[in-house]
Amino acid sequence: MLVDSLLKLSSKAVAKGLEIDFYKNYDVSLEPPLSDNVFKELTKITQNCSLVIAKKTGLKLNLSSFDHTSFACTEEDLQNLYLHDIRSLVIHLSLKVKRVIKEEEEMSFKCRFVSDKECQMICRSFPNLTCLEVSCFNMKSLNEIHRLTNLQTLILYCNSFNPWDGSEVLFKLPNLRILEVPVSHNFFKNLSLCHGTFPSLRFIECKRSDINEAQLRQLIAQHPSLEAISVLKTPCERIDFSDLPITVFNMTTFESTMNTLCYKLDERSLDWDRVNELLGRLEELFGNKDVRGFEEDDFLKTMMKVTQKILRLSPRGIQMEKCLVAYFKRFFPDQSMTEILQNLDPKDPLLIERRWAAQTVLRFFPEE
C-alpha cells in the first residue's frame, strides 16, 4: 500500500538523520507508528543504541516497543528512556533496569517479563504501571504486585497454577479492570477458593483455560462490576449463559455467537481461523428452529464489516458467503438469488443491505 511505503521511506530518512546527528539542535517528538519504525530502521544501520534514544539527538521517541535483545544496550541507554515522551511501552529487559530507569509520576509502562526476579523487581520499581503481562511463571512472582495500585490490565499467559498458591494476592489490585488468563490451568479453581473480589473488574479473557460453568457463575455473582467474559476454547464454549446479566463471548446461541464475532473483528490482530469458525457456527445456527437473538440489521451490517476486513487484510471469504446463503435459505425459502434481487421491496429499510448480501453471494456462487 502507498501509505505503508511512504511510512517506510520516511522512517529510513529520519533514521539516517539520527545516525548523522542531524536533529541535535531540534526539540521534536515522534508518535507511533513512525517512532517505532524509525527505531527499527536505526537499529539496522547502527549498534549505538544511545544514538537512538539519547536526549542529545533532539528527537524524542514515543516508543511502543523496546526489545534490547536485537542490539547492544547499555545502562545509559535504559536511563535515557526516561528522557523521552514515552507513555506506553512494551519492554523486554534484563535485571539491570532496576538500577537505572527513573519513573515520572505521569508515566506508565506496559511490561512483559518472564522470570520471578524480574517480575518482583518491576512491581517494586514501577508502582504506576497500568498494564503488566507475565508469561510462564508461578504465583510467587507476583508477591509484590500489591504495590501496583494503578494497575488496570493484568495478563497471565500460559501458566499452570498449583493449589493454594496465593492467588488471593491479586485481590489487592483496587483498579484492575481487565484480567486475561489465557492458556492457563487451575487458575479459576484456585480463585474460587480464595476470599476476596476485584472491585473494579470489567472484563475477563479465559480462552484455552479450564474454567467450568460453576466457576464462571461464581465469578459473575461475586463481581457485579463485571461486564463481559470470553470463554472460547474452554469447557464453557457451548454452554448457554443467556440468563446471566453480562455478555459471555462463546458460540452457543445466535446472539452470543454474533457478539463474539463482533468482539473478534475489533481485535487489533485478527484471527481469521476463529472468524471463519464463528461464521460456520452462524451458518449452522440458521438451520435450527430457534434463532433467538437474531437481528437482521445487525447481522447484515456485521457481514459487510467482515467483507471490508477480507478485502483489506485477507483473500479468504467463502465461509462468509456460505453464512449468507444459510441466511437467505432461512428467511427467503425456495427463491434463487436472482429472484430475491428482483423481488426486493424498494421501500424496505434494509433494501441496501439485502441487495448487497444477494449480490455478494452471486459473486461467489453464480447461478446459471
pLDDT in tens, 297-314: 999 999 999 988 876 555
Can you give the pLDDT at residue 216?
97
Q: Are residues 111 and 203 in the same domain?
A: yes
Domain boundary among 82, 114, 138: 82
Taking residue 99's Cβ as centre, other Cβ atoms within 10 Å add up to 11
Residues 233 and 182 occupy one common structural domain? yes
Say if 7 falls within a structural domain. yes
Instruction: Give pLDDT tens digits for 272-288.
Output: 889 999 999 999 999 98
Q: How confident is the model at residue 195 (pLDDT cuts 50, 70, 90)?
A: confident
Asked if 236 contacts 213 with a C-beta cutoff of 8 angstroms, the reply is yes
Q: Is residue 276 part of a domain?
A: no
The CB-side HSE value for 12 (13 A sphere, CA atoms) comes to: 5
Does residue 161 have a pLDDT over 80? no
Q: Has residue 262 been placed in a domain?
A: no
Residue ranges making up the domain that contains 345 = 281-368
pTM above 0.85, yes or no: no
pLDDT at 109 > cutoff 60:
no
Is the pLDDT at 107 greater than 50? The verdict is: no
Same-domain check for residues 77 and 107:
no
> 56 and 119 in one domain?
no
Evaluate if residue 253 carries a pLDDT over 70.
yes
- Of 231, 250, 269, the one marking the end of a domain is 250
- Is residue 93 included in any domain, yes or no? no
Task: Name the pLDDT band for 224 (thresholds 50, 70, 90).
Answer: very high
Mean pLDDT of 241-258: 95
Does residue 349 fall inside a structural domain? yes
Q: How confident is the model at residue 5 (pLDDT cuts 50, 70, 90)?
A: confident
Q: What is the 3-state secondary structure (H, E, C) of 243-293?
A: CCCCEEECCCCHHHHHHHHHHHHCCCCCCHHHHHHHHHHHHHHCCCCCCCC
Q: What is the CATH number of the domain that holds 200?
A: 3.80.10.10
Residues 228, 151: one domain? yes
The reply to whether 241 falls in a domain is yes
Each residue's pLDDT tens digit, 65-93: 665 555 555 555 655 665 666 655 555 54
Please tell me the predicted confidence (pLDDT) of residue 39. 81
Residue 119 and residue 245 in one domain: yes
Contact between residue 166 and residue 140 where contact means Cβ atoms under 8 Å apart: yes
For the chain, what is the mean pLDDT?
A: 80
Task: State the average pLDDT over residues 30-34.
Answer: 83
Q: Is residue 92 assigned to a domain?
A: no
Same domain, 239 and 172: yes
Same-domain pairing of 158 and 218 = yes
The CA distances from residue 275 to 36, 298, 313, in Å, are: 29, 16, 13
Do 113 and 218 belong to one domain?
A: yes
Q: What are phi and psi of 253, to 5 degrees?
A: -95, 170
In a domain, 200, yes or no: yes
Based on the fold, state whether residues 220 and 136 are members of the same structural domain.
Answer: yes
> How many domains does one find in the chain?
3
Domain end marker among 49, 82, 115:
82
pLDDT of residue 106: 39
My answer on whether 236 and 115 are in the same domain is yes
Contacts of 103 (CB under 8 A, 6+ apart): 82, 109, 125, 126, 128
Q: Of 1-15, 169-183, 196-210, 228-242, which range is least confident?
A: 1-15
Give the residue from 112, 147, 143, 96 showing the smallest Cα distance to 126: 147
- 76 and 202 share a domain? no
